[in-house]
Amino acid sequence: MKNIKLAEDTISKLELNKLTKWIISTKILTKSKVSKKFEHIFSNWNNSKYAVFVNSGSSANLLIAQALLESKLLINKTIILPSVSWATTVAPFMQLGFKVILCDTDKENLGLDINHLKKLIKKHKPSCICLCHVLGHSNNIKDILKLVRTNKIKLIEDTCESLGSTYNKKKLGNFGLASSYSFYYGHHISTIEGGMVCTNNKSFYNLLVSIRSHGWSRDWDKNYKKKIMKQYKLNEFENLYTFYNSGFNIRSTDLNAFIGINQMKKIDRVIKTRNKNYQLYKKLLKNFWHQNDDNQFISSFAFGTIVKNRLEVYEYLKSKKIESRPIICGSIGRQPFWIKHFGKTKLANADFIHNHGIYLPNHSNLTESEIAYICNNFLKIAKPIFFDNE
């Protein structure tokens, strides 16, 4: 059996050949018309009004955080963040001076725990809540939407692991003000490095495209640009080097966008295969914990479960040439970067995932026989455990 990796590159030789020919023939490689075309294709597929292409999913979260600050939509800088998520789901808000509060994880879907979230909202009165849809699975969308509407809270979604998953006939990432996506190697599609922010709010979109590129106006439409220039009494020449927002340079390139356009041609096949693989894992590992949610369609990132003897399982699978990992960061409250600032944060469910969570490979090149091989070896060594039974 060959090495079974957590991820395999989705960029084919045919796509690389197309890229080679395009590079030779084009005059522009930096962000230009091809990036705009990729954004348009992605937003249409995702059923979002606007999409902003950036150099990573992490930068997508950073861009959302800064745009929130510039937007004047927040009544305070308090944000509730998911404890089971990724380092750069949380770090941008720390770096930009938000008051960050971690919410414990749900025992079923690994999103935000509703009971803990209600307590945190009552105590801290946040302006914003961030969801992380873990490994392709939605949070408790219905309950969370009710909470944010009742309490007038802005909602954002880290959808980097859940591209194409749907809830109530709507793709994840379309339930709040803005959402982030990642096109890193091994994600559903890849642009080598890259990410996207989606929003249905035009004003927020104009902030995003400005902050992405230094804070200037070059990606604004002509009418909006003229309006802002008139507000600041600027002529066309002055506007060229005028910076309206506190910005970054986190643009991607037309090279990455060209790859992304070709990746979008097979995205539906990729996510259907990942879903099929996930269903097979559930069948073969039916006696182990797995995520449950109200997703209409699960665009699985990996198969997550929990075991008593995680290190033993990891080492055994490795000896059989099978890769595995902890369930993303485990608990952010036990990560060194968090502890340096706030000390260790105890969260019962997230700590349980931190100690016992493991995920197994899922990608669109994985075959049924390889999944059977993974599961057969997993069953030889893994000892099941469930929440509240540690």
Which is nearest to 161 in space by CA: 25, 35, 7?
7
Rounded to an integer, what distance in angstroms lies between the CA atom of residue 285 and that of residue 24? 49
Annotation: CATH topology of 13-263: Aspartate Aminotransferase; domain 2 (3.40.640)
* Average pLDDT rounded to a whole number, residues 120-143: 98
What is the per-residue pLDDT for 152? 97
332 near 338, Cβ under 8 Å?
yes
Residue 124 has pLDDT above 90, yes or no: yes
Rounded to an integer, what distance in angstroms lies between the CA atom of residue 227 and that of residue 157? 31
28 near 120, Cβ under 8 Å?
no
Q: What percent of the chain has pLDDT over 70?
A: 99
Query: E strand or H helix at 35, and its extent?
Result: helix 33-46
* Average pLDDT rounded to a whole number, residues 292-302: 92
Residue 296 has pLDDT above 90, yes or no: no
- Indicate the pLDDT class of residue 311, thresholds 50, 70 and 90: very high
- What is the DSSP code string of 51-119? EEEES-HHHHHHHHHHHHHHHT--SSSEEEEESSS-HHHHHHHHHTT-EEEEEPBPTTTSSB-HHHHHH
- Indicate the pLDDT class of residue 254, thresholds 50, 70 and 90: very high
DSSP character at residue 134: G
What is the per-residue pLDDT for 2? 84
Residue range 259-276, pLDDT digits in tens:
999 999 999 999 999 999
Average pLDDT, the chain: 97
* Average pLDDT rounded to a whole number, residues 72-96: 97
pTM as predicted = 0.97
Rounded to an integer, what distance in angstroms lies between the CA atom of residue 94 and that of residue 104? 18
Q: Which of 133, 187, 188, 363 is catalytic?
A: 187
* Average pLDDT rounded to a whole number, residues 36-64: 98
Catalytic residue flag (residue 341): no
- Indicate the pLDDT class of residue 390, thresholds 50, 70 and 90: low
Residue 159 has pLDDT above 80, yes or no: yes
- Indicate the pLDDT class of residue 184, thresholds 50, 70 and 90: very high
* Average pLDDT rounded to a whole number, residues 42-56: 98
- Indicate the pLDDT class of residue 385, thresholds 50, 70 and 90: very high
What is the per-residue pLDDT for 134? 98
Q: Which residues pair with 179 in a beta bridge?
A: 157, 198
**267-381 shares the fold of 13-263:** no
Rounded to an integer, what distance in angstroms lies between the CA atom of residue 201 and that of residue 381? 50
Domain ranges in the chain are 13-263, 267-381
CATH 3.90.1150.10 fits 267-381, yes or no: yes
Lowest mean pLDDT among 7-11, 178-182, 219-223, 264-268: 7-11
Residue 70 has pLDDT above 60, yes or no: yes
* Average pLDDT rounded to a whole number, residues 336-353: 98
User: Tokens for 124?
Assistant: 């801290």
What is the per-residue pLDDT for 389? 67
Q: Is the dihedral of CA 308, 310, 315, 316 positive or negative?
A: positive
DSSP character at residue 171: E
Which is nearest to 64 in space by CA: 171, 184, 212?
212
Query: E strand or H helix at 147, and its extent?
Result: helix 141-151
What is the per-residue pLDDT for 295? 81
The residue with greater pLDDT, 383 or 9, is 383
- Indicate the pLDDT class of residue 388, thresholds 50, 70 and 90: confident
